[in-house]
């Protein structure tokens, strides 16, 4: 049986039998893959630590007929700080789920791997997880070829004025004259579009200190949620977890 080595991040796992797990890995060479970690639910298993969520390791994998099998792993970054903070853990699960459901199997994408890895490093350090989440969402969709048109009206190609609408159906912003082309498009402010453009074009480092007003946060969250749902066509389980954590922070009942 063939062996191969690859760096990869653990995006998820599920139990198999009494002691095994099937890991969902994301690799720069292989894309998203499933591999069995045999006996990993037993204490002192040599690959136990490398099977933890978000862990970034170098894996030695045996190709299988149906599923590959993990033979060895050498941890490069455990991202334990994420798992120690409940809010950061919730966002880490969301980031991993969004990548997992939006990526086809074995679709090699080195840029996407580097972007996700960088996001996880920043999640350990950034306090503004909501801002990080909005940036991650638009950049992730853009890397995968689903960037919304936010510089000119998708209806006529002209620059938009003070009245701006976001159309998920048409894939970007509409001016007042083209609003009729999608009656379900959402009215947003030019300030929101300006922030969205910065998030798409600027680096994480340039955006770290970005101040975003509350009403803009709400508009960004709304259009991002609708845009993502339109493209992946499924409900993300981790969204509710983030809401629950937010309610705990503000003292609201779950």
What integer pLDDT is reported at residue 251 of this predicted model? Answer: 67
Give the model confidence (pLDDT) of 51-81 as tens digits. 999 999 999 999 988 899 999 999 999 999 9
Residues 72 and 89 occupy one common structural domain: no
For residue 194, the enclosing domain spans 81-250
Of 78, 96, 112, at which residue does a domain stop?
78
8 A C-beta contact, residue 55 and residue 75:
yes
User: What whole-number distance in Å separates Cα of residue 56 and Cα of residue 26?
Assistant: 9
Residues in contact with 214: Cβ distance below 8 Å, sequence separation at least 6, in sequence order: none
Q: Hey, how many other C-beta atoms are within 10 angstroms of the C-beta on 197?
A: 13
What pLDDT sits at residue 65? Answer: 85
Q: What is the pLDDT of residue 234?
A: 82
Percentage above 90 pLDDT, the chain: 88
| pLDDT at residue 66 in the model | 87
The residue among 6, 16, 12, 11 whose CA lies nearest residue 39 is 16
Task: Read off the pLDDT of residues 80-99 as tens digits, 9 standing for 90 and up.
Answer: 999 999 999 999 999 999 99
Note whether 98 and 137 are within 8 A (CB): yes
pLDDT tens-digit series, residues 236-250: 999 999 999 888 877
Domain of 45: which CATH number? 2.40.50.140
pLDDT at 163: 94
What CA–CA distance (Å, rounded) separates 174 from 20? Answer: 51
Q: How confident is the model at residue 209 (pLDDT cuts 50, 70, 90)?
A: confident
Q: How high is the pLDDT of residue 24?
A: 97
86-102 helix and 110-123 helix, angle to the nearest 10 degrees = 170
Number of domains present in the structure of the chain? 2
Confidence of residue 252 (pLDDT cuts 50, 70, 90): low
Rounding to the nearest 10 degrees, give the CA dihedral for residues 151, 156, 157, 161.
-40
Residues 73 and 9 in one domain: yes
Distance in angstroms (rounded) separating the CA atoms of residues 89 and 76 = 19
Residue 253's pLDDT is 52
Residue given tokens 């798409």 in the structure block: 200
205 near 183, Cβ under 8 Å?
no
Instruction: Looking at the structure, tell me whether residues 74 and 138 fall in a common domain.
Output: no
Predicted pLDDT of residue 229? 92
Please count the other Cβ atoms lying within 10 Å of the Cβ belonging to residue 145.
7
Residues 67 and 108 in one domain: no
- For the residues 174-187, what does the mean pLDDT come to? 95
Pair (57, 97) in one structural domain: no
First to last CA, the chain: 51
Please give the average per-residue pLDDT across 24-48, as a whole number. Answer: 95
pLDDT category of residue 1 using cuts at 50, 70 and 90: low
Can you give the CATH number for the domain in which 94 is found? 1.20.1440.120
Mark which of 33, 54, 78 sits at the end of a domain: 78
Question: Is it the case that residue 15 has pLDDT exceeding 70?
Answer: yes
Q: Do residues 96 and 50 both lie within one domain?
A: no
pLDDT at 49: 93
């Amino acid at each position: 049986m063939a062996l191969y080595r690859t760096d990869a991040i653990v995006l998820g796992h599920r139990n198999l039998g009494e002691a095994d797990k099937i890991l969902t890995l994301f690799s720069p060479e292989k894309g998203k893959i499933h591999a069995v970690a045999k006996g990993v639910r037993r204490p002192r298993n040599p690959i136990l630590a490398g099977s933890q969520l978000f862990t970034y390791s170098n894996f030695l994998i045996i190709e299988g007929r149906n599923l590959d099998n993990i033979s060895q792993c050498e941890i490069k970054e455990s991202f334990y700080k994420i798992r120690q903070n409940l809010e950061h853990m919730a966002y880490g699960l969301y980031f991993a789920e969004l990548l997992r459901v939006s990526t086809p199997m074995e679709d090699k994408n080195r840029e996407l791997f580097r972007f996700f890895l960088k996001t996880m490093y920043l999640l350990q350090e950034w306090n503004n997880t909501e801002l990080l989440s909005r940036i991650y969402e638009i950049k992730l969709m853009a890397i995968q070829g689903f960037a919304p048109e936010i510089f000119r009206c998708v209806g006529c190609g002209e620059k938009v004025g003070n009245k701006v609408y976001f159309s998920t159906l048409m894939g970007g912003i509409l001016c007042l004259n083209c609003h009729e082309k999608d009656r379900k498009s959402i009215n947003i402010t030019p300030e929101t579009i300006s922030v969205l453009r910065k998030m798409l074009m600027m680096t994480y480092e340039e955006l770290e200190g970005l101040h975003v007003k509350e009403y803009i946060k709400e508009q960004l969250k709304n259009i991002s949620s609708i845009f993502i749902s339109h493209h992946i066509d499924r409900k993300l389980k981790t969204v509710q977890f983030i809401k629950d954590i937010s309610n705990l922070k503000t003292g609201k009942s779950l």
